[in-house]
Amino acid sequence: MGYAVLHLEKTNGTDSAMSAHIERTIAPKNADPERTHLNRELIAFPDGVRNRTQAIQHRLDNAGLQRKIGKNQVRAIRVLLTGSNENMKRIEAENKLDEWCNDNIRWLGETYGTKNIVSAVLHLDETTPHIHATLVPIVNTERKKKKSEAQVKKNYRKKNPNAPRLSADDVMTRTKLKEYQDTYAETMAKYGLQRGIDGSEARHIGTSQYYRELFAKNEELKENIDELLKKQTDTEKKLSQVKSEVSKEKFKNAKAEMGANLMNGVNSLFGNSKVKQQQAEIEELQSENTTLKDENRSLKTEMQTLQKEYTTTIDKLRAELKKVYEIYPKLRELLSIEKMCRFVGFSDDLTKQILTGDKVGFKGSLYSAEYKQKFSTVHSVAQMEPEPKQPEKLRLAIDGVDIIEWFRLKYREFQQSVGIDWMDRKEGRGRKI
């Protein structure tokens, strides 16, 4: 049996980067573009909603929330649903993928509430079929007060304790996360998928080092399996060739003995030394083929175990990374800016200079995901600087404006160059072509 994989992760802000990955507005390197058309949305959006980002906001606007959503409050939770690669490929080959998807959607609705599941996308263009679901954590339970709040007497009007509220922490308690794994494994049991080991204790080396070694071993196993499969194929080809030669030799000997007694001819045929040698070679090759198959199965079992450890390690790394973000709050923003720099096309050297806070002059082309094209500049200055209205936050600025606004200005320049003149919308004149 393989393993059922369920992973939950809190999002940050609008989660636009993950939306781009899920909706394939940006093609990931590990995706097969020839299979991208097979991906499909499993949940229909409400009227007027066109994408995942809008679906999240639509749920928040229509949930009946009484409290204002905080700037740093988690608005959505990513949910990854899949299984071991071999088992997911088997489910797909047996034409049970639609049933598997329906069971996943039903489990999501029963577990988190149907209205809270705003998006679910099946990806078939990567190595393993999987579902990216998006959960808006609306709960109807009473908020647990902090000790400091309970000790202070307030004369505020009491709110309905069962009123809807946004709370990712209530959804992702340790107890509930364990329950999710248990109930999901029960749902997936019919597909030959089981729950992983509850609470791995493997930690003899540093987590990062362990992860690197685990990944390397996993890749090595893949190479060994590929090598064994090639060797097995070569052996089977050789086996087929020897069988063909034996058949030809038997035919020649039978033809030479055609005029003699049939039984004598058969005895002579099998008494031929060459035939005996070839039959012995067949037996040897068959034995080698069986050994290779057994070794291949053993390696695949080991690989499945490593994949489970890999998933567990990733979860632990994410937990540790969360702690790092709490200790160094600006690290997340620095990483976000670093990703943006690399995505739009800055080199590694320029990215490092920008992250120091210095003004960095550059020329060349930068890519805009919004307009899906590159914009060139002969000379511009890039700098990481505080947000004007929120100094505690950072932004990537080019020529003194936010990079998004810089792309918009470049796009307008491009439109004007092809004969499109944007006029003042406030005056109601629209655009002139």
Whole-number Å distance between alpha carbons of 75 and 135: 9
- pLDDT, tens digit, 9 for 90 and up, residues 2-32: 889 999 999 877 788 888 889 888 888 778 8
pLDDT over 50 at 426, yes or no: no
At 389-403, the pLDDT tens digits run: 888 888 999 999 999
Q: Domain 2-144+160-194 carries which CATH code?
A: 3.30.930.30
d(CA 426, CA 160): 43
Instruction: Give percent of the chain with pLDDT exceeding 70.
Output: 74
Q: What residue segments make up the domains of the chain, in order of their start?
A: 2-144+160-194, 207-326, 332-432
pLDDT per residue as tens digits for the range 101-145:
999 999 999 999 999 999 999 999 988 999 999 999 999 888 766
Of residues 380 and 428, the one with the higher pLDDT is: 380
E strand map for 124-208? 130-135, 138-139, 165-166, 193-194
- Per-position DSSP letters for 144-168, written without gaps between them: PPPHHHHHS---PPPPPTTS-EE-H
Do 30 and 104 form a contact (C-beta atoms < 8 A)?
no
CA atoms within 13 A on the CB side of 232: 15
User: 131 and 121 in contact (C-beta within 8 Å)?
Assistant: yes
Residue 307, C-beta contacts closer than 8 angstroms, at least 6 positions apart: 3, 84, 85, 218
Q: What is the SS3 string spanning 250-302?
A: HHHHHHHCCCCCHHHHHHHHHHCHHHHHHHHHHHHHHHHHHHHHHHHHHHHHH
Provide the pLDDT for residue 259: 47
pTM, two decimals, is 0.47
pLDDT higher at 222 or 419: 419
Give the pLDDT confidence score for residue 265 in this predicted structure.
45
Parallel/antiparallel/unpaired status of strands 193-194 and 360-368? unpaired
Tokens 């060994």 identify what position? 224
Which is higher by pLDDT, 284 or 109?
109
Residues in the chain: 433
From its phi and psi, is residue 228 left (phi > 0), alpha (psi between -120 and 50) or beta?
A: alpha
CA angle (225, 231, 235) in 5-degree steps: 140
Summarize the confidence of residues 62-73 as an average pLDDT: 89
